[in-house]
Chain A
Amino acid sequence: MNTSKTWLWIIIAIGALALIVWAAGQYGFLASKTDQSLLDSDVIADISNDLNSVDIGTPSEDLKQMDADINSL
């Protein structure tokens, strides 16, 4: 009697878990890693920061380093 009761509880627990997993899937809580990176990488603030970090640079310093040599010729 006790054994069958235990089995009954196990079946109920498995059913409840399956229901929770299904509900989580329906509401998008189980998104894959690819989905996550797709969602996270392109918000405006991130793109703005990325663009602000682009430094075209200036060759002035590199060219100036040659001047001492040129002047000594």
Chain B
Amino acid sequence: MNLSPKFTSKVLIILAIALGVAFAVPARAHNHEPSVRGELKERTKDLRQDIKNIKAGFKTEVSDIKSKREALDARLKDERETAKKRLETVREEAKKVAETRRAEVKDKISKLRDEKKKQIATRLDKQLTHLNTQWTDHFNNVLNHLSKILGKVELRADKAKINGRDVSAVGTAIQNAKTAIETARTAVETQAKKTYIASFSSEDKLGAAFKTVREQLHKDLFGLRDGAMKSAREAVQSALQALKGVPHVNEEPKATTTPSQTQ
């Protein structure tokens, strides 16, 4: 059976048309159903909208964190400068108050007959003031550092909150730490206000007078260190500990959160 190429191609064209019609008709019929396809389209649309909303929400939260960080940086800078100024002010006030007493002691030292004792007494008098300034400055710097660390704890807790974690315990611990730091700042100021002047009535009581003042300075500095300063550090440690207890706390906020309510 010999078929001409012309005939074969005609048959093929007809078959192709038939196949086309065969597939197209049910598909069109399917389209007329009010049904699954339309519903799927709607759901896809809804899901796309949800994803858009989540992304928009995420962007807002991330920009919230950015502005919070900036605000925190500004607050820490302000806190540092204010504390420094307050320390300088109280020192100046204390200096003025003790001016007369210091002048009296200086005068007494200058009248000492023993030249060596005169030099030592002058040196000790300066050292007592210098040590108090040095250590109150140091404690103030430690408190600045603790504030900065607490700021980091705060930022990390905010991120965990965005990720849906419960950070209420961390919030309380942060507040406690802030209070402890503020209490310590006040204690440092109180210490900075103090003046250490060895008053003596006669040359033979010079050593005992300086010993008493040295003991007082020792007691005050250690009292501050082991009291308010340690409490502030422990309070920041507790805030960090509370933060460590939050599950997956190191996770950065992600835009890929599964939409919980799609309808």
Question: Hey, which bits of chain A sit against chain B, CB under 8 A?
Answer: 28, 34-35, 38-39, 41-44, 46-48, 50-51, 54-59, 62-63, 65-67, 69-73
Contacts and interface: CB of A to CB of B under 8 A. Distances in A.
Contacts of A66: 124, 127-128, 131, 210, 214
A19 B240 CA distance: 43
Contacts, number: 98
Interface of B: 62, 65-66, 69, 117, 120-121, 123-124, 127-128, 131, 134-135, 138-139, 142, 145-146, 148-149, 152-153, 155-156, 159, 206-207, 210-211, 214, 217-218, 221-222, 225, 229-230, 233, 236-237, 240, 243-244, 249-250, 252, 255
Q: Secondary structure at chain A's binding surface: helix, strand, loop or mixed?
A: helix
Contacts of B156: 42-44, 47
15 contacts: A38-B155, A42-B159, A43-B156, A44-B249, A44-B250, A51-B236, A51-B237, A59-B135, A59-B222, A62-B131, A69-B120, A69-B210, A70-B210, A73-B120, A73-B207
Q: Which one of A35, A54, A55, A67 has the greatest number of beta carbons of chain B within 10 Å?
A: A54
A29 B162 CA distance: 21
A58 B142 contact: no
Given A47-B240, A70-B207, A73-B210, A54 B142 contact: yes
B66 A38 contact: yes
A57 B153 contact: no
B203 to A, nearest CB: 9
Contact of B218 (A28, A63, A72, A73): A63
B237 to A, nearest CB: 6
B69 A38 contact: yes
A-B pairs, 3 with minimum CB distance: A73-B207, A42-B152, A59-B221
Contacts of B124: 66, 69-70, 73
A58 B146 CA distance: 17
A62 B206 contact: no
Contacts of B128: 66
Given A34-B66, A50-B152, A73 B117 contact: yes
Contact of B233 (A42, A50, A54): A54
B69 A56 contact: no
